[in-house]
Amino acid sequence: MINFAQILKISLNLRKRKMKKQVLVLLAMILSVATFAQKNELKAADKAVKNQDYASAKSSLTQAEPLIANADEKLQTKYYYLKAVTYTNLAKADPSAYGVAADSYDKLFALEKDMGKTTYTVKAEPELNAMISEVSKKGIASYQNKDYKAAKSELYQVYNLSKKDTAFLEYAANSAYLDKDYDAALDYFTKLKDLGYTGITIDYTAKNTETGKVEKFDSKQQYDLMKKSKTHTDFKENPTESKRASVIKNIAYVHIEKGDVEEAINAVQNARKIAPKDVSLIMTEANLHIKLDQKEEFAKLMNEAIALDPTNHILYYNLGVISAENGDIEKAKEYYRKAIELNPDYIDAYINLGSAMLEGDKALVEEMNNNLNNFDKYDEIKARQVDLYKEVIPVYEKAYEIKPDDLDTVRTLMSLYENAEMDDKFTEMRKIYEAMK
C-alpha cells in the first residue's frame, strides 16, 4: 500500500531543502552585492585620497563602514589605511579628527600583525610619524605660549597617537593642572601612576678636552659618534631621577585643589612610601592634617621633617608660614628667626618676620580707639606702638639692604619711619619711594 504520510514527509523535506538552497543562494548574492559595494566605496575613497579630496574620501568611507566588520581582512586593512590617512589630513583643520585617525592606525597595525603582513603598515607608519611630529610641535608651542587649554589636548593627542611616548601624557597632565582642569589632570596623572611611569631617561655626557667643560649630548647616536673622536673624554651615561613619587605627589595636589583632603592625604602617604625622605611630601601631608584640625599629627610630621633636614632654612620658613596661617604668631616668629639664622640673606623670612611682629599693632590700635577720651592712657598706648615700630624697623631695613628695589619694602619702611616720628629717615625713604613709582 502507498503510505501517503511518508510521501508527504519526503515531499516536505525536499521542499525545505530547495528553500534552504534558495536562501543560501540569495544570501550569497546579497554578500556578493555588499562586497561589490564595499569595493566600489573603497575605490572611490582611494581615488579621493590620491586627489587630496579628503571630504569625499570621508563620505565614501562612511558608506562602506556599516559592512566592514564582516568584510575579509584584505578589505578591512585597506579600509583602515584609507581612513587613517583621510582623518590625518582632516585633523589639520579639525583637531577632533586626530582621535579617529589614531584608532584607525591602531586597528590597521593590529590586523596586519595578526595576518603576518605589512602591506599597508609600511605605507601608514610615515603618515603616522609625520602626524605625531606635527601635533607634538603644536602642543609644545602652545605650552611655551602658556596656552594650556590647547596644550593639554594637543599633548594628550600625541600620547594617543603613540602610546610609547608616555612623557607626553605627563606634559598633558601638567598642562591640564595649569589650565585648572583638575578632572583631566587627575585622569592623566592617575594613568601615569597605573602605567608605572618613571620618566627616567639617560643623560649622555663627556668632557671637552679643549675647554675642560662637561657637555651633554642630544642623543645616544651623537654620544656614540663623539666616542670615536679625540675631542672628548670621560664619557658617562647618567640615568635621571625617577618621577614616580612626583606623579603621585601631583595626584595629591589635584585632590587638594578639588577639596578632597582625605584623598589627598592618602595620595601623599602613597608617595611617601616611594620617597620616605622627601621633606616636601612631609610638609604637604602636615599642611593637610592642619586643614582637618589634626594638630598632633601636624606636630609629629614637622618634627620628622626637621630631623631629616635640620639646616634647611626654607623648611623653617614654611613652618613659619603654616604656623602664621593657623594663628600661632609667636611660633611663626620663632621659625622665621631660625630661617634667618640659617640663611642671613633670605629676604622672605625678614619680610614675614616683620609682618608677624606687626600683628601686635592691631590690638594696640583697637586699644587706642577705646581710649580716645583718656589722653594719658592713649599716650601710654601710643608710646608702646612707637616702641613696636622701632623694634620692627631693623627687620625691614635688613630686607631693604638685601633687595633695595622692592617697592613694598620701601613703602613699609616709609610708613614705619613716619609713625615712629623718625622724620629724617622718612624724608629720605619718601624720595626713594617717589623715584621708584
Q: Count structural domains, the chain.
A: 5
**Within a domain: residue 26?**
yes
Instruction: Please give the pLDDT value at position 140.
Output: 93
Flag whether 7 is in a domain.
no
Annotate 98-117 with b (16+ C-beta within 10 A) or e (fewer): bebbbebbbbbbebbeeeee
57 is a domain residue? yes
The closest of 193, 194, 157 to 172, measured between CA atoms, is 157
Residue type, 354: G
Domain that holds residue 113: 14-135
Classify residue 5: in a domain, yes or no: no
Q: Of 177, 194, 211, which one is at a domain's C-terminal end?
A: 194
Whole-number pLDDT of residue 254: 94
For residues 105 and 91, the answer to whether their CB atoms sit within 8 Å is no
Distance, in Å, from the CA atom of 140 to the CA atom of 149, rounded to the nearest integer, reads: 12
User: Is the full-model pTM beyond 0.75?
Assistant: no
Q: In whole angstroms, what is the distance from residue 259 CA to residue 149 CA?
A: 22
Residue 409 domain-assigned? yes
- What is the pLDDT, as a whole number, of residue 249? 85
Q: Which of 135, 157, 174 is the last residue of a domain?
A: 135
For residues 56 and 119, state if they share a domain.
yes
Residue 260, classed as helix, strand or coil, is coil
Are 321 and 284 found together in one domain? yes
Assess whether 63 and 127 both reside in one domain: yes
Handedness of CA 304, 306, 312, 316 (dihedral sign): positive
In a domain, 244, yes or no: no
- Residue that the C-alpha cell 608702646 belongs to: 384
Q: Does one domain contain both 188 and 278? A: no
Local structure of residue 293 (DSSP, 8 states): T
Can you give the pLDDT at residue 399? Answer: 94
In a domain, 379, yes or no: yes
Q: What pLDDT is stored for residue 13 in this prediction?
A: 57
Phi, psi (rounded to 5 degrees) for 234: 55, 55
Same domain, 53 and 129: yes
Whether residue 31 sits in one domain with residue 125: yes
Same domain? For 336 and 427 the reply is no
Q: Are residues 64 and 20 in the same domain?
A: yes
pLDDT at 400: 93
Amino acid at 247: V
Per-residue pLDDT, 37: 55
Return d(Cα 250, Cα 61) in angstroms, integer.
Answer: 43
> What is the C-alpha separation between 295 and 293, in angstroms, rounded?
6
- The Cα 408–Cα 410 span in angstroms is 5
Same domain, 291 and 317: yes
> Do 119 and 161 belong together in one domain?
no
The packing angle between helices 182-194 and 244-258, to 10°, is 150
* Edge-to-edge strand list for the sheet holding 232-239: 214-217, 202-208, 232-239
Are the C-beta atoms of 45 and 52 separated by less than 8 Å? no
Residue 79 lies in a domain: yes
CA distances from 143 to 99, 155, 292, 374 (A): 20, 9, 35, 63
Identify the segments of the chain with pLDDT beneath 50. Answer: 1-2, 4, 7-8, 10, 14, 21-34, 36
For the chain, give the longest Cα–Cα distance. 143
- pLDDT, residue 204, reads 87
User: Tens digit of pLDDT for each residue in 248-284?
Assistant: 889 988 998 998 988 999 988 888 888 888 888 888 8
pLDDT of residue 182: 96
267 and 334 within one domain: yes
Same domain as 120, residue 35: yes
CB atoms within 10 A of CB 428: 14
Cell of 392: 620692627
